[in-house]
A = this chain, B = another copy of it.
Amino acid sequence: MSVSIHDIARRAQVSASTVSRALQNNPRIGVRTRARIHALAAEMSYVPSDIARSLVTHRTRTIGVLVPAIADPFMGRVIEGIEQAALENGHTVLIGSTQNDPDRERLVINTMRARRVDGVIVMTSHMPSRVNTPGADDAIPLVLFNEQSRDTRTPVVAVDDLRSAEMAVASLIDLGHRDIAYVGVTDRARSNQSRLRGYRQALKTARIAARPTLVIRGRAPHHEQLGFDALSALQQAGATAAFCYNDSVAIGLLAACAAQGVRVPRDLSVIGFDDIDTARFTSPPLSTVRQPRFELGRRAVHMLLRQLNGGERERYVTLGQLIIRESTRAPGTSARAPRRVSQ
């Protein structure tokens, strides 16, 4: 087994509690013995047992993170922000991915409870209420990530999906587009819905009639595939521009365009959401709405920590930032009328 405070107490000719105190730099311990004990601890390569400590302090300094998938270009970066902020504050992170599976979600939540995490950050679009049963008294402090709940008391950090989407679509309208499609997903109920509403709002503001055939949703294991499959429907609906749920969807759509000889942005403008790392490296480089993923992750931790320290429950909802690259431009402006002989 690993060395304990007793081992070092014995060699230091003091009691275990003295060692404990010395290691916490308790001023009540003589500076000389304190130094001696520190030296001894280092020499014996002592590593305090967080689990024993947690048992008595009733805090684990662990924050749980509930996420649909880790291998997601958006989530990954958020998690890094979370981890960083947690580390800076002496906490560690326990990640659990639900894979959009309710059973798995239950399992993960249960292990987090068993591990006695101090608090949880929830990024799973599915029913966040599952973490704490309304009536129970054993509620875990939590902050929602990108997941507005109608209950305005629960803390949240998020990008305003609706208004950010509205902004993206408005940028398309400003370019002169009127036949704008929305390519959505099915596995992110809430945010998909919000972005769709933002899309509709933008059309409404511009007094453009909404055409049902222009909103496309599919089902596919990967978001890219879903964007890829959307192209034909887009063409049938006569879209000149597409606002995609996120960059992964947009990347799939771009791939389909390349395969079908549809030129972007000449024949079709495409705009995504998130601004993942690869968005700058698609061809053409993708216009999108940036979410400051790393920073948002950090912010979620800070908010949770403040809450744990008895602070107020806060909410932080911000607007995404429009990033215009080369996948969007005015419709039909191709030098001399492109393919579209539509007339």
The interface of chain A, by Cβ under 8 A from chain B, is: 1-3, 45, 47-52, 54-55, 58, 60, 69-73, 76-77, 79-80, 83, 87, 92-97, 99, 104, 107-108, 110-111, 113-116, 133, 136, 138, 222, 224, 228, 248, 251-252, 254-255, 258-259, 277-278, 280-285
The answer to whether A71 touches B76 (Cβ under 8 A) is yes
Residues of B with C-beta under 8 A to A79: 70-71
The answer to whether A49 touches B222 (Cβ under 8 A) is no
- Give the oligomeric copy count: 2
> Complex: how many Å from CA A70 to CA B1?
31
Residues of B with C-beta under 8 A to A278: 224, 248, 251, 278
Residues of B with C-beta under 8 A to A114: 47-50
The answer to whether B224 touches A280 (Cβ under 8 A) is yes
A243: min CB distance to chain B, Å: 18
Q: A55-B55, A114-B47 are in contact. Are A87 and B107 (CB under 8 A)?
A: yes
Residues of B with C-beta under 8 A to A45: 133, 136, 138
Contact among B94, B99, B136, B283 with A92 in the assembled complex (CB-CB below 8 Å): B94
> Complex: how many Å from CA A336 to CA B83?
55
5 A-B residue contacts at CB 8 Å?
Answer: A70-B70, A83-B96, A93-B95, A224-B277, A248-B278
A110: min CB distance to chain B, Å: 7
The answer to whether A55 touches B52 (Cβ under 8 A) is yes
The answer to whether B111 touches A92 (Cβ under 8 A) is yes
Residues of B with C-beta under 8 A to A228: 281
The answer to whether A71 touches B69 (Cβ under 8 A) is no
> Complex: how many Å from CA A87 to CA B109?
12
Q: What are the 8 closest A-B residue pairs judged by CB atoms, nearest first?
A: A71-B76, A258-B283, A255-B281, A71-B77, A50-B114, A47-B113, A224-B281, A51-B51
Known: A51-B115, A52-B55. 5 other contacts (CB 8 A): A45-B133, A70-B83, A92-B94, A94-B94, A224-B281
Residue of A3, A72, A107 ringed by the most chain B CB atoms within 10 A:
A72
The answer to whether B70 touches A73 (Cβ under 8 A) is no
Residue of A60, A73, A96, A110 ringed by the most chain B CB atoms within 10 A:
A73
- Smallest Cβ-Cβ distance to A2: which chain B residue: B138
Q: A76-B72, A115-B50, A278-B278 are in contact. Are A58 and B136 (CB under 8 A)?
A: no
> Complex: how many Å from CA A342 to CA B73?
41
A112: min CB distance to chain B, Å: 9
- Smallest Cβ-Cβ distance to A54: which chain B residue: B51
> Complex: how many Å from CA A2 to CA B116?
9
A142: min CB distance to chain B, Å: 16
